Amino acid sequence: MVGWVDRANSKRAHTLAQIPHEWIDPNVINEMKERGYVNTREYLDSVLPQNEVRITALTATELIERIRTRKLTSFEVCYAFCHRAALVHQILNCCMEIFFDDALNKARELDNHLVTTGKVLGPLHGLPFSLKDQVNLPGIDTTIGYISRVGHKAVKRSLLAKVLENAGAVFFVKTTVPTAMLASETVSSLHGRTLNALNLNFSSGGSSGGEGSLIGARGSPLGVGTDIGGSIRIPAAFQGLYGLRPSHGRIPYMDVTNSYEGQELIPSVIGPMGSSIQDLELFAKLVIDSESWNYDPQLVALPWREVPHVKKDKLRFGLMVSDKLVMPHPPVLRALMETCEALRRCGHEIVEWNFPHNKRMIDVGEQVYAADFYDEVQEILETTGEPISEYMKIARENISYKGHSGRALGVSQWWEISREIRSLKEQFLEYWEKTRDLTSDGKPIDAIICPAWPSAGFRDGDVEFGCENYTVPFNVLDYSCVVLPVTQVDSAKDIPDASHSPFSTEDKKIHEYYKPEMFSGMPVCVQVVCKRLEEEKALAIAAVIEGCLANVEKL
Amino acid sequence: MVGWVDRANSKRAHTLAQIPHEWIDPNVINEMKERGYVNTREYLDSVLPQNEVRITALTATELIERIRTRKLTSFEVCYAFCHRAALVHQILNCCMEIFFDDALNKARELDNHLVTTGKVLGPLHGLPFSLKDQVNLPGIDTTIGYISRVGHKAVKRSLLAKVLENAGAVFFVKTTVPTAMLASETVSSLHGRTLNALNLNFSSGGSSGGEGSLIGARGSPLGVGTDIGGSIRIPAAFQGLYGLRPSHGRIPYMDVTNSYEGQELIPSVIGPMGSSIQDLELFAKLVIDSESWNYDPQLVALPWREVPHVKKDKLRFGLMVSDKLVMPHPPVLRALMETCEALRRCGHEIVEWNFPHNKRMIDVGEQVYAADFYDEVQEILETTGEPISEYMKIARENISYKGHSGRALGVSQWWEISREIRSLKEQFLEYWEKTRDLTSDGKPIDAIICPAWPSAGFRDGDVEFGCENYTVPFNVLDYSCVVLPVTQVDSAKDIPDASHSPFSTEDKKIHEYYKPEMFSGMPVCVQVVCKRLEEEKALAIAAVIEGCLANVEKL
């Protein structure tokens, strides 16, 4: 039997071998460093052919429009993204599966289709599209980060992949995940470490870190990630991207491989990551309007609903500056303040949001994730002997510290957790409804604005300075969340706050992690949170926020 | 400490003592029997004052209209129903809590409100309304059939009760349930046995047997039951009533007491039982339009959707004559055939429905219900020493026979059941979609027509001849189901089928239970099943079926 190290190395070599040899450059990362770059996006803009740089700078919406109107061919577009993705992967280690040939053939077919019929296949006609490893394409491995699953080629196609293909998407890569998708960095014994697109010293985030890294470096215009504790929002935030965590039941997860299948108290959801709100809307609308609920019983038969009033009415926001457990770093606080100031200037109203049970929400999330003490993960790892990740060791320690017996729960304990979640959902709704008492017109808030993450990421390897406090609660609640970039760390503006009295040792550790020079230039996102199944509203509000921020810049 | 028998007797006496003494008649059941009656509805029609008989014969919709237009007062109506309910309870043992005084005071208030303002409070203005024991009203016991909970007065009001009260409903009784609501008959050590409204020898069904019995005898015009395995549909079918089992997330269950709270794989749901489709629609529309999703996080924010096309288009039905496990009795088969014949005559199309995995759906239902081997129930019973019910003993035996270890499951086994349910839901949807191949216009069916129960009920005590095969699968699927009465057993028409080759020993036992004379005159219902969250469509289709059946009668 081949050892797990050899199997992993062999898989990595195999992935690399899928790149055409003229695009292989074993020295690329050294050249980049020698030229003083840490930002892969900027570096590639400086070395790739100008026409490819122009193409890969466009949003998905712009690309589709140019393909539809035949200003660009799908082939040109796919070629540019394949070329760029090949280099991004060699720098950041973000792809698990590469199939450029299939993509370029498909692109040619779509170009022919458009020329011949004069019609596009669908709203994504000719767009290169990346997929997180979990999404199944027949004949291609789905490993979810386990060495033992190398060579497990998928048989079925995920329903979402069918929907996207029917809309004209062109798949060209599947991207890396941490083992079992259970980490906020993207590290596995199988693929190694996935780095941040904007700073080689930083983590890509996780678990959809491969997507975040690839899209962040413009190696893909649009892709899908999954999110059970922040896995779409964290890499989106770390790379200055846009990400939608939809509610469960909105975007089809059918035949997408997952860890802990059948765990439905805090369901993993699947959603888009991209470079503009319009791109996320494009994705969400077309997927929802595919009426996939006729096939996937987990979906709610709820068509896409336009929300024109959101774009013209006065809106009310609840601002959660901190959860009183972990104080966000100064750049994140500034991002929140600038966002609220911009909204106020446009006539919107901001009230305070101080839900008192944040800790219970985070604790119950941990209890769900660790319900079997990660036995499922350990059992799969043991089949090859690959070691359990540091992240999971920490998770086990944390949950033991909080009273977990170290053995899988019984069904009655599971139901107890379920009751706790229901109670928290009820209290959260009640608190939301009570914001009527705070707003000037007696209406409850439309959305919460809060951090997506307390810092502008963390350095690769520093996952212990991470903290899912601002993502997990909305998985527990199953609310609609959009992450959007608002600013970058500015070491001149974002001075450490020496006056902060830490809430706890964890808070102290994270607080002291902030160094202006280290974070300088990293993107800072904020999070918009609407209620369950309000994806249309969350996206529309994110667009409103962008508009208000743009207005302020013009002043 | 008072023994459980004494506590139960004392509670029964206390319930009875809530009835005004002029309505107490310890001899009523003997008089009824002496006069040759088994049907409580018919008997009470013969002994009650004619104006009360006229009032209690009206549907909820008719009553509300007469109150609104001041042809009747709410007081007259409530008085008539209180009086009748008092007698029904003394005959059938269907009430747990009686509060006529509160009801009559409330009715007077509503009458005054209408006179003073000229306006009704809401769409149920002045309507007497009965509630299953589980629904909480402050100051009133919620026992869910446990002696140990006698005297546990509710503090909170169930959200649904608030909605109904805001709509003008007048609560006057809460009705009996079997211990923990886990039986298809309504029997507990606490209250005894609840009998069938139409035949004293028969069971009321369960677990909403108190509602079924009371409404069946016209002691209430409209009420709510709950359903986790058929508990609305079974008593509705046994009493020739209309019942809606809504999908989870449509009607608020918040602050309604339940067994196994936190068990969310097959959730219990709450819905109306009444005497007409219009009454169920009235209830569903007003409750859904209350936007209770702003308070109850389990609800889907899905407003009531009118479905005018259902009432004018050609419809397609899948007819499930039998599940190939337990053959329905001849009267049920005739009810199905007459229904389909009536639909065909009106231009609708019927195709065969033979989903191949009915057994798996029933088995997985049992696994969920018995996941902790009923430890929760036993633990609560042990606090007073009351014995575990026969029904639960049988359930334990059955599940042990099928491989249950007799110990509560672990969380990984629970997730395995969850995966099985998801897989069944996917296969069911796929089968539904494939009915396109069977219909003349290539569209999938609109609804399934099937039995609600394989027989027209069973004699009181004969619960072993019951069988939830036609209800449980739709709890597993969480589909929208309506039960409606179609015919009565006719001993001349409904001849035993000697040619049937039993599918199993269970089927043989149930098959041989059919005796035309014994069942003669009992009501026979059919079940209409639409997909998840299609309550509007299921109700509209039930109305179409009634219209078609009425058309045939006119011929």
pLDDT in tens, B525-554: 999 999 999 999 999 999 999 999 999 887
Q: Which of A169, A92, A177 is CA-nearest to residue A130?
A: A169
Choose the catalytic residue: B231, B247, B276, B480. Answer: B231
Distance CA(A204)–CA(A211), nearest Å, equals: 9
Using CB atoms, which residue from A264, A298, A429 is nearest to B295?
A: A429
Instruction: Judge residue A307's burial from the number of C-beta atoms within 10 Å of its C-beta, 0-12 exposed, 13-18 middle, 19 or more buried.
Output: middle
Mutate to test the interface with A, among B373, B412, B476 (most CBs of A within 10 A): B412
Judge whether B149 lies within some domain: yes
Residue A431 has pLDDT above 70, yes or no: yes
The residue from A106, A132, A285, A531 that is catalytic is A132
Taking chain B, what is the end-to-end CA distance rounded to the nearest angstrom? 67
pLDDT in tens, A9-58: 999 999 999 999 999 999 999 999 999 999 999 999 999 999 999 999 99
Residue B42 three-state SS:
helix
Asked if B417 and A265 come within 8 Å (Cβ–Cβ), the reply is no
To which H or E segment does residue B370 belong?
Answer: none
Same domain (yes/no): B422, B342: yes
Please indicate, yes or no, if residue B386 is contained in any of the structural domains: no
At B51 the three-state DSSP class reads: helix
As a whole number of angstroms, the distance between CA A436 and CA A394 comes to 41
pLDDT confidence of residue B403: 87
pLDDT for B1: 57
CATH code, domain with B535: 3.90.1300.10
Q: What is the mean pLDDT of residues A168-193?
A: 97
Q: Report the DSSP pairing between strands A192-193 and A187-188.
A: antiparallel
pLDDT in tens, A55-79: 999 999 999 999 999 999 999 999 9
Give me A365's structure tokens. 């999330």
Residues 6 or more apart whose CB falls under 8 angstroms from that of A270 comprise A135, A160, A224, A225, A226, A227, A246, A251, A252, A253, A256
Contact flag B429-A302 (C-beta cutoff 8 Å): no
A91: number of CA atoms within 13 Å, CB side? 35
In chain A, the residue whose alpha carbon lies closest to the alpha carbon of B420 is A262
Complex confidence, ipTM = 0.97
The CA-atom distances, in angstroms, between A354 and each of A341, A364, A495 are 19, 19, 25
Q: Does B418 appear as a known binding residue?
A: no
For residues A143-163, average pLDDT: 97
Number of A/B CB contacts below 8 angstroms equals 112
pLDDT beyond 90 at B389: no
Q: What's the mean per-residue pLDDT of chain B?
A: 97
In a domain, A391, yes or no: no
Please indicate whether, in this complex, the C-beta atoms of B411 and A413 are within 8 angstroms of each other. Answer: yes
Closest-approach residue (CA) in chain A for B259: A415
Sorting pLDDT into bands at 50, 70 and 90, what band is A101?
A: very high
Cβ pair B176, B188 in contact under 8 A: yes
A270 in the same domain as A122: yes
Residue whose tokens read 């980049």: A32
Pick the residue from chain B with its C-alpha nearest to A298. Answer: B422
**A294 and B429 in contact by Cβ < 8 A?**
yes
pLDDT per residue as tens digits for the range B12-38: 999 999 999 999 999 999 999 999 999
Listing DSSP states for B201-220 in one string gives: TBB--SSSHHHHHHHHTTS-
Q: Is B136 a domain residue?
A: yes
| Residue B119 predicted with pLDDT over 70 | yes
Contacts of A300 in chain B (CB under 8 A): 300, 302, 533
Is B262 annotated as contributing to ligand binding? Answer: no
User: What 3-state DSSP class applies to A322?
Assistant: coil
Instruction: Among A294, A374, A378, A411, pick the best mutation site for testing chain B contact (most B Cβ within 10 A).
Output: A411
Does residue B33 have an active-site annotation? no
Domain identity same for A272 and A329: no
Question: Do A371 and B260 make contact, defined as CB atoms within 8 angstroms?
Answer: no
Look up A204 and say whether it is catalytic.
no
Please check whether residues B82 and B227 belong to one and the same domain: yes
Residues A229 and A336 in one domain: no
Inter-axis angle of helices A390-401 and A358-369, nearest 10: 120
Which residues, at least 6 apart from B83, have a Cβ–Cβ distance to it below 8 Å? B23, B48, B52
DSSP string of A71-90, one letter each residue: SS-HHHHHHHHHHHHHHHHH
- Across the interface, whether the CB atoms of B300 and A429 are under 8 A apart is answered no
The distance of B508 to chain A (nearest Cα, Å) reads 35
Confidence at residue B369, expressed as pLDDT on a 0 to 100 scale: 96
Shortest alpha-carbon distance between residue B291 and chain A (Å) = 12
Task: State residue A247's pLDDT score.
Answer: 98
Q: Which stretch of DSSP H or E encloses residue B366?
A: helix B358-369
In a domain, B299, yes or no: no
Looking at the complex, report in whole angstroms how far the Cα of residue A245 sits from the nearest Cα belonging to chain B: 18
Average per-residue pLDDT for chain A? 97
For residue A416, list chain B residues with Cβ-Cβ distance below 8 A.
262
Q: Which of A130, A207, A247, A389 is catalytic?
A: A207
Mean pLDDT computed over B245-251: 98
In this prediction, residues B301-326 reach a mean pLDDT of: 97
The answer to whether B263 contacts A296, with C-beta atoms less than 8 Å apart, is: no
Per-residue model confidence (pLDDT) at position A125: 98
Told to judge if B207 belongs to the known catalytic residues of this protein, a careful annotator would answer yes
So what's the pLDDT on residue B151?
A: 95
The pLDDT confidence band at residue B392, using thresholds 50, 70 and 90, is: confident
With CA atoms as reference, the chain B residue closest to A419 would be B262
Domain boundary among A259, A294, A329: A294
The DSSP-derived string for B4-23 is HHHHHHHHHHHHHHTS-GGG
Percentage, residues of chain A above pLDDT 90: 96
Question: How far is B424 from chain A, CA to nearest CA, in Å?
Answer: 9
pLDDT for A345? 97
Residue of A nearest to B249 (CA): A300
**Which residues on chain A are in Cβ contact (under 8 Å) with B254?**
426
Residue B555's pLDDT band (cuts 50, 70, 90): confident
Inside any domain, residue B273: yes
Question: What pLDDT digit, counting tens, does each position of A334-373 carry?
Answer: 999 999 999 999 999 999 999 999 999 999 999 999 999 9
Report the distance separating Cα A187 and Cα A209, nearest Å.
9
Q: Is B231 annotated as a binding residue?
A: yes
Residues on A contacting B at a C-beta cutoff of 8 Å? 254, 260-265, 294-298, 300-302, 371-372, 375-376, 408-419, 422, 425-426, 428-430, 433, 444, 477, 531-534
The C-alpha torsion from B107 through B111 and B113 to B119, rounded to 10°, is 120
Reported as type and span, the H/E element at residue A524 is strand A523-530
Nearest CB to B416 within list A262, A295, A300: A262
Q: Do both B45 and B190 map to the same domain?
A: yes
Nearest residue on chain B to A477, judged by CA atoms? Answer: B297
Q: Using one digit for the tens of pLDDT, what is the confidence trace for B65-84?
A: 999 999 999 999 999 999 99
Nearest to B262 among A262, A300, A419 (CB): A419
pLDDT of residue A391 exceeding 90: no
The answer on whether A1 is annotated among ligand-binding residues is no
Q: Residue B487: which of B519, B460, B517 has the closest Cα?
A: B519
Whether residues A331 and A228 fall in one domain = no
Q: Nearest 5°: phi and psi at A141?
A: -60, 145
Nearest to A103 by CA among A168, A8, A151: A168
The dihedral sign for the CA sequence A536, A537, A541, A547: positive
**Residue B2, pLDDT above cutoff 90:** no
Any binding-site annotation on B207?
yes
Partner-chain contact B414 A413, CB within 8 Å: no
Chain B: closest CA distance from residue A182 (Å): 17
Residue B384 in any domain: the answer is no
Q: Is there a single domain that holds both residue B220 and residue B347?
A: no
The minimum CA-CA distance between B378 and chain A, rounded to whole Å, is: 14
How far apart (Å, rounded) are the C-alpha atoms in residues A373 and A396? 7
- In degrees to the nearest 10, what's the CA dihedral of B318, B319, B325, B327? 170
Look at A232-241, B398-407, B413-422 and tell me which has the smallest mean pLDDT: B398-407
Q: Which domain holds residue A545?
A: 317-371+409-554
Q: Which residue has the tokens 């996941």?
A: B371
Residues of chain A neighbouring B409 (CB-CB closer than 8 A): 410-411
Residue A382, in any domain of the structure? no
Is residue A223 domain-shared with residue A288, that is, in the same domain?
Answer: yes
pLDDT-derived band at A555 (thresholds 50, 70, 90) equals confident
Chain centroid, CA B554 distance in Å: 30
Catalytic position from the list A130, A231, A290, A322:
A231
Instruction: Look up residue A530 and give its two tokens.
Output: 């609407």
Query: What's the confidence (pLDDT) of residue A554?
Result: 79
Q: Hey, which bits of B133-259 come out as E strands?
A: 170-175, 187-188, 192-193, 222-227, 242-245
Count: domains in chain B: 2
Sheet containing strand B447-451, edge to edge, reads: B95-98, B170-175, B128-132, B222-227, B269-274, B242-245, B480-488, B523-530, B447-451, B316-319, B349-352
In this structure, are B232 and B330 located in the same domain? Answer: no
User: Is pLDDT at A1 greater than 80 in this prediction?
Assistant: no
| Cβ neighbourhood burial of A552 (10 Å; 0-12, 13-18, 19+) | middle
Asked whether the beta carbons of residue B300 and residue A300 sit closer than 8 angstroms, the reply is yes
pLDDT of res. A346 = 97
8 A C-beta contact, residue B126 and residue B102: no
Query: Under an 8 A CB cutoff, do A409 and B410 touch?
Result: yes
Q: What is the pLDDT of residue B516?
A: 98
Rounded Cα distance between A56 and A52, Å, is 6
- A186 close to A160: Cβ distance less than 8 angstroms: no
d(CA B443, CA B351): 12
Whether residue B271 is found in the same domain as residue B344: no
Given a contact cutoff of 8 angstroms between Cβ atoms, the answer to whether A284 and A535 are in contact is yes
Chain B hits for A534, Cβ within 8 Å: 301
**B411: nearest CB among A408, A425, A533:** A408
- Judge whether B229 is annotated as a binding position: yes
The one-letter amino acid at B92: L
Chain A residues lying within 8 Å of B428, measured CB to CB = 297
Residue A336 shares a structural domain with residue A442:
yes
